[in-house]
Amino acid sequence: MSKKYFGTDGIRGKIGEYPMTPDFVLKLGWAAGKVLTTNGHPLVLIGKDPRISGYMLESALQAGLAAAGVNVRLLGPMPTPGVAYLTRAFRASASIVISASHNPYHDNGVKFFAANGMKLPDSTEHKIEAYLDHDLVTVPSEDLGKSVRIKDAAGRYIEFCKRALPSSMSLKGLRIVVDCANGATYHIAPDVLMELGAEVFAIGNAPNGFNINEKCGATDVNLLREKVFQYRADIGLALDGDGDRLIMIDDKGEKVDGDEALAIIAAFRRNETAVKTGVVGTLMSNLGLEQAIKGFDLPFYRAKVGDRYVVSQMMKHNCVLGGEGSGHLIVRDHTPTGDGIVAALQILRAMISTGKSLHDIKQVMRKYPQTLINVPIKKSINLDKAASVQAAVKQVESQLGERGRVLLRASGTEPLIRVMVEGDDVSETTLLANEIAGAVREAA
């Protein structure tokens, strides 16, 4: 059964346009309170990124949760993985993150975590949507929820992140540029790295409510590349607006994406018993990652796109490593959700232990050229029944043979069809991807 509001990462949209309106979010808070706190411990945490609309949505969620009889702890600006960790630390029934991740400031979203710090299964999201069709009924006044602000949330999460590095290991001697995307890690990531001994140059750490992800962060590493050269840094770390993605720049100025980062971590940890069960990527993961993981004599599994689907496959196969090319990296023996800071510390650990640069250790994977085109659509289309699109796909697949692959999928967060063509020649993949994208535009 399809969902009316929830996408692959919660509910997201442009502020002021349904469903990202105060009245809808208020009722969403009430519906979530009715569904998520049935275990008799009505406590929900709320964290957010620094975009301007977060204050409005936070107030609306508070009101809705209070009407359902749920107590609230407000964390303030907090990375998504930090909220997930604190959910477990506070023994809360659930938590909510107000963020649109890598989207611009005029968008926002609401996503949920269960008591175990993991994203909700589809079945729970269906239950919340069902409550949204009911009339909002407020509990008696004596049962209304109360809100309290947690003042040391950032410090708690900083200490958690630092534990991802062995206590005997220091980052002393490393020069690191960290780009916080003017997002939720602005007051956390630089402190984690400095307290572990690194010389840190922070950028994108001055959020004003409007500049989140603006020409910075994991979606735009041009500024980070400039700063890596300017400060003669060993590595540049780019996080996204809510801190659950990591993209890197090596000392040569080359971009290192999530697939390459996953290969690096898997290569470094491949002899550990916990890693022997394999590594999980997605349908979009580069063919080079699959070949690298299998070359380490480890199984490789592909999940649907979306970090919660990656986690689901990781649990199914008892894997501790998984991720996406976009930079969502899950190191499940540290935390059950994607965490950009924890992932960065895994990379830094590999660099320190091997004595090699990021540029050198990324050579464990040969990256195949991969062309991705996002085709905007005004209405939903069934790709399987679009004859012209399927004909274009078959023609491209026939031309590539075993040298590459094609993938089409609808975005779960934006009105887009994503067209991906992968092969051994970038000119060819670009040409073929544009052919399929043209067919999709005509069908849309």
What amino acid positions are annotated as catalytic residues?
101
Side-chain-side CA neighbours of 53 within 13 Å: the count stands at 24
Q: Are 383 and 408 in contact (CB under 8 A)?
A: yes
Query: What is the CB neighbour count within 10 angstroms for residue 8?
Result: 17
Q: Is 133 exposed, middle or buried (0-12, 13-18, 19+ CB in 10 A)?
A: exposed
Token digits for 35? 């569904």
Q: Are 101 and 239 in contact (CB under 8 A)?
A: no
H/E element, 426: helix 426-443
Token digits for 348? 């830094």
What is the C-alpha separation between 165 and 329, in angstroms, rounded? 16
Binding residues for Mg(2+): 101, 240, 242, 244
* CA 93 to chain CA centroid, nearest Å: 22
Query: Which are the contacts of 350, defined by CB distance < 8 A and separation ≥ 6?
Result: 264, 265, 267, 268, 361
Query: What is the CB neighbour count within 10 angstroms for residue 230?
Result: 10
Helices 122-132 and 22-36: crossing angle, nearest 10°? 120
What is the C-alpha separation between 79 and 335, in angstroms, rounded? 13
What is the C-alpha separation between 49 and 108, in angstroms, rounded? 9
Instruction: Report the candidate in 81, 115, 116, 110 with the shortest Cα–Cα distance to residue 97.
Output: 110
Distances (CA, A) of 152 to 73, 188, 193: 12, 12, 19
Write the DSSP string, 203-265: ES----SS-TTTT-GGG--HHHHHHHHHTT-SEEEEE-TTS-BEEEEETTS-EE-HHHHHHHH
Helices (H) and strands (E) in the chain, counts: 14, 18
Q: Are 413 and 102 in contact (CB under 8 A)?
A: no
Side-chain-side CA neighbours of 255 within 13 Å: the count stands at 18
Look at strands 94-98 and 43-48 and give their pairing. parallel
Token digits for 402? 């075993």
